[in-house]
Amino acid sequence: MLSDRKRKILKAVVDDYIESAEPVSSKNICDKYLTDCSPATVRNELSALESMGYLVQPHVSAGRIPSQKAFRMYVDELMTVKPLSNEEIEVIDKYFQQRAGNVEELVMNVAKIISDITNYTSVVVKNKGEEEYIRRVTVVELNEKSALVVIVTDNSVLKDSIIDLPIDLDENGIKTANNWLNRVFCGKKVSEISNIDVIMSDISIDFALYRELYKKIVEILKKCNKGGQEITTSGSSKILDYPEYNDIDKAKDFLTKLETKSDLMEIFDTSKGDFEMVIKIGQEQNNMPEGCSMVSAKINVKDKMVGSAGVIGPIRMDYKKIVSVLEHIGQLIDKMLSDQ
Amino acid sequence: MLSDRKRKILKAVVDDYIESAEPVSSKNICDKYLTDCSPATVRNELSALESMGYLVQPHVSAGRIPSQKAFRMYVDELMTVKPLSNEEIEVIDKYFQQRAGNVEELVMNVAKIISDITNYTSVVVKNKGEEEYIRRVTVVELNEKSALVVIVTDNSVLKDSIIDLPIDLDENGIKTANNWLNRVFCGKKVSEISNIDVIMSDISIDFALYRELYKKIVEILKKCNKGGQEITTSGSSKILDYPEYNDIDKAKDFLTKLETKSDLMEIFDTSKGDFEMVIKIGQEQNNMPEGCSMVSAKINVKDKMVGSAGVIGPIRMDYKKIVSVLEHIGQLIDKMLSDQ
DNA sequence: TTTAGCAGTCGATTAGTTTGAGTGCTAACA
DNA sequence: TGTTAGCACTCAAACTAATCGACTGCTAAA
């Protein structure tokens, strides 16, 4: 357990480093954070903190920078969450007042506002909700050969799954098929439709015609079951505002990972554990871009998780601000969508 | 009019500069491109080309780099399009064989493959097609208060327009409304539905109930008429592979413009003029990121333009390769979607 | 336990030097 | 008249040396 003064000093180092991106010196700490003791004293403490693994020194005549372990300690125990300014709250609220009619736009707006307010790259994940109930299945004929399947669930709409039509279905056939499909699918959970055969046995001989159609819809639902998330980023160029990413190779690494959906999904997969706020620091997370951390908050609507929203940026990012931004936005979304 | 030799030399300078990103020297040209005359001769020609505004010299003891004017001349008259290698064709074809079921995925795939093959940032624009015929209008109830409108046209599907339902419509009402809406809208062009009153007068008193619904659908169609394009990018970090963008400020400028939909739309607006391939070089285009050019090809399906696909990158990009990549991909898309 | 004082380290900055790639010009040559 | 060899000149880039100063660790006294 760290002494009280060590904790104060460690917090000072992290706070200062987050702000300045420069190694923090003993004098600096005395001037700005601990005016009641001398630099020499602080140096002794710093030296101790270093040997405990909380600090590192780039070279002997430089100040200290916090290690990954220090940031972990900082977010877990030391930092004091910074409430949003009235101005910031106003800006955010304004964004949400121009309520967007469709979900995609809402997701984009949320991503944009988070990135604008925090000045980090934001990442919003929208669950496709395998735990949702199917409300309606509609097959819309596009031409003789193909059709569009629209599946409506409680919270979302899956469209744009184009399927080939069995040849022997004319317009009337589709109408009947639609009726039948709705009887079969409606009220079931998306996740329930995992095994074709279970329900397949329910199908009476009369409807053998639709067997083909049925199979295809199940496939779509399965697909949605697997890759059940959509991921959106905003403000990816924000990373270049931070001096540690003025190195082209690091910037490239960051941007490339951001574009690789699979990497990004892995980083923002917060399914393990059920915390409202997840913070992953540096190499704690596999495939994290070099020198980065992420913060992600669950988005709940009526107590059901519909996705998550967060940011990714340099390890020394402003956690205390980000946390309150994400909390506030989470609440707003819940309020907004619960009302509907 | 430039002499034959001047044209050869200018082409050599541009080709070499595209490859090396370095100022091109007289000796270099003689060695690699014009073995039948001496550096001194080439120097005289270079000097002439410089005073004609085709070349610039960063400083007196450096070689020449092509001006914007030179690149314009190059793409218009000098370059020889480079056919794709068998290998490249194979890679592209493979991508297209795993035919994606839905349009969004197709667009993403096209963007990805263009970026991968050319190694520049790709931009794909998908028209929302106001000249398309409406095939079907379906209102799908989401809950008591709101509904989803799905409008199917020849080439695309507009979904995710969520509207508030007039309170007095129950499930049966929606069924009837759907029938009626289809009678009213089907077969009409999207662009036709610009003036509510025109068709409004057709509505018999009996259907006054649907007036509200009708208005909302017209609004959606109008909205689609205006902001009638969707834009997707891929490989935005590719720009960092080019030495001229190792400068953080230039990289930031590029990435920021790429994220600003309005800027990007302006750059990739190829509606003026009806060329199959549009090339905009540097400051020819307002709001172009510093030192950039774009190449964009129309995407036609059954002789109808459905969008465009292109790249944006450094002025010295490999136009001769890009042109053939885009042509090939355009043909593939046409073939693929025409078959359906 | 704290602190003043001091020697020592090492990155960053600046100034000065060298190198060499490339030009323009001139004069001779085809 | 067009081409070319030769030479003087320029200037960015690369390298070197010297200086500066922000820190620290250590020691010894308070």
Find residue A158's DSSP bridge partners. A151
Distance CA B280, CA B286 (A): 10
Rounded distance between C-alpha atoms, residue A74 and residue A10, angstroms:
8
Q: Name the pLDDT band for B23 (thresholds 50, 70, 90).
A: very high
The pLDDT score that the predictor gives to residue B203 is 55
Is the distance from CB of B181 to CB of B213 less than 8 angstroms? yes
Searching chain B, which residue's CA lies closest to the CA of residue A145?
A: B340
The CA distance from B257 to the nearest CA of chain A, in Å, is 10
Confidence of residue B182 (pLDDT cuts 50, 70, 90): confident
pLDDT at site A135: 77
pLDDT at A100: 60
Indicate yes or no: CB of A160 within 8 angstroms of CB of B240: no
| B140-181 pLDDT, tens digit each | 766 666 677 777 776 666 655 667 777 677 767 777 777 777
Task: Return the pLDDT at A158.
Answer: 63
Q: Which residues of B touch A251 (CB under 8 A)?
A: 240, 248, 251
The per-residue pLDDT for A47 is 96
Residue of A99, A138, A148, A258 best to disrupt the B interface, most CBs of B under 10 A:
A148
User: The tokens of A18 are what?
Assistant: 């987050």
Q: Closest CB to A162: pick one of B102, B140, B236.
A: B102
Facing residue for B138 by CB, picked from A140, A143, A240:
A140
Instruction: Give the HSE-up count for residue B329: Cα atoms under 13 Å, Cβ half-sphere.
Output: 34
Cross-strand partners of B121: B312
Question: What is the predicted pLDDT for the residue at B76?
Answer: 97
A142 contacts in chain B (CB < 8 Å): 135, 152
pLDDT digits (tens, 9 = 90+) for B185-218: 887 877 777 555 555 555 555 556 677 777 777 7
**Residue of B313, B307, B246 lying closest to B281 (CA atoms):** B313
Q: Which nt sits closest to A62, CA to C1'?
A: D23
Report d(CA A157, CA B142) in Å as an integer.
Answer: 9
Give A230-281 pLDDT, tens digit per residue. 899 999 999 999 999 999 999 999 999 999 999 999 999 988 878 999 999 9
Whole-number pLDDT of residue B338: 80
| pLDDT value of residue A116 | 96
Percent of chain B exceeding pLDDT 70 equals: 85
B246: CB within 7 A of chain D nucleic strand:
no
Mutate one of B139, B140, B247 to test the A interface: name it (highest A CB count within 10 A): B140
Confidence of residue B100 (pLDDT cuts 50, 70, 90): low
Instruction: Look at residue B130 in the predicted model and tell me its pLDDT.
Output: 64
pLDDT class of B101 with cuts at 50, 70, 90: low
CA atoms of B338 and B321, how far apart (whole Å): 26
**Inter-chain residue contact B148 with A152, CB threshold 8 Å:** yes
Chain B: nearest CA to A63, how far in angstroms? 27
| pLDDT for res B299 | 94
B74: pLDDT confidence band, cut at 50, 70 and 90?
Answer: very high
* Chain CA centroid to CA B246, Å: 25
β strands within chain A, DSSP E? 55-56, 65-66, 121-127, 134-141, 146-153, 157-164, 229-234, 277-281, 292-301, 304-314
pLDDT at B158: 63
Q: How far is B171 from chain A (nearest CA, A)?
A: 12
A340/B143 Cβ within 8 A: yes
Name the protein residue, with chain letter, whose CA is nearest the C1' of D9.
Answer: B61
- Annotate A165-176 with b (16+ C-beta within 10 A) or e (fewer): beeebeeebbee
Residues with pLDDT less than 70, chain A = 99-102, 129-131, 141-144, 154-162, 167, 171, 194-209, 223-228, 339-340
**Residue with more model confidence, B194 or B307:** B307
Q: Give the pLDDT confidence of B227-262 residue by residue, as tens digits.
A: 568 899 999 999 999 999 999 999 999 999 999 999
| CB pair distance less than 8 Å for A240 and B251 | yes
DSSP annotation string for A239-296: GGGSGGG-SHHHHHHHHHHHH-HHHHHHHT---SS--SEEEEEGGGSTTPPTTEEEEE
Residue B106 in tokens: 């197709």
CA A74 to CA A15: how far, in whole Å?
A: 9
Q: What is the distance between the alpha carbons of residues B312 and B270, in angstroms, rounded to a whole number?
A: 14
**Predicted pLDDT of residue A269:** 92
Q: Per residue in B173-210, is it b (16+ CB within 10 Å) or e — as a string?
A: bbeebbebbeebbeeeebebbeeeeeeeeeeeeebebb
Residues A67, A70, A75: CA angle, nearest 5 degrees? 130
Is B237's CB within 8 Å of A248's CB?
no
Q: CB < 7 Å to strand D — which of 20-59 in chain B?
A: 36-38, 40-41, 44, 58-59
Q: Are strands B55-56 and A304-314 parallel, antiparallel or unpaired?
A: unpaired
In 3D space, the residue among A130, A71, A110 whose CA is nearest the CA of residue A325 turns out to be: A110
Higher-pLDDT residue of B184, B131: B184
Contact flag B160-A256 (C-beta cutoff 8 Å)? no
CA-to-CA distance for A148 and B51, rounded, in angstroms?
61
Q: Are B63 and B17 within 8 A, CB to CB? A: no
Exposed / middle / buried, residue B319 (Cβ in 10 Å: 0-12, 13-18, 19+): buried
pLDDT computed for residue B201 by the predictor:
53
> Averaged over B314-322, what is the pLDDT?
98
Please give, rounded to a whole number of angstroms, the shortest distance from the CA of B252 to a CA of chain A: 6
Contact B251 A256 (CB under 8 A): no
Mean pLDDT of B64-78: 98
A22: nt with nearest C1' to CA: D22
Q: Which nucleotide is nearest to A59 (CA to C1')?
A: C10
Cα distance between residue B295 and residue B300, in whole Å:
16
Q: How many Å does it take to go from CA A17 to C1' C1? A: 28
Nearest chain B Cα to A101, which residue? B162
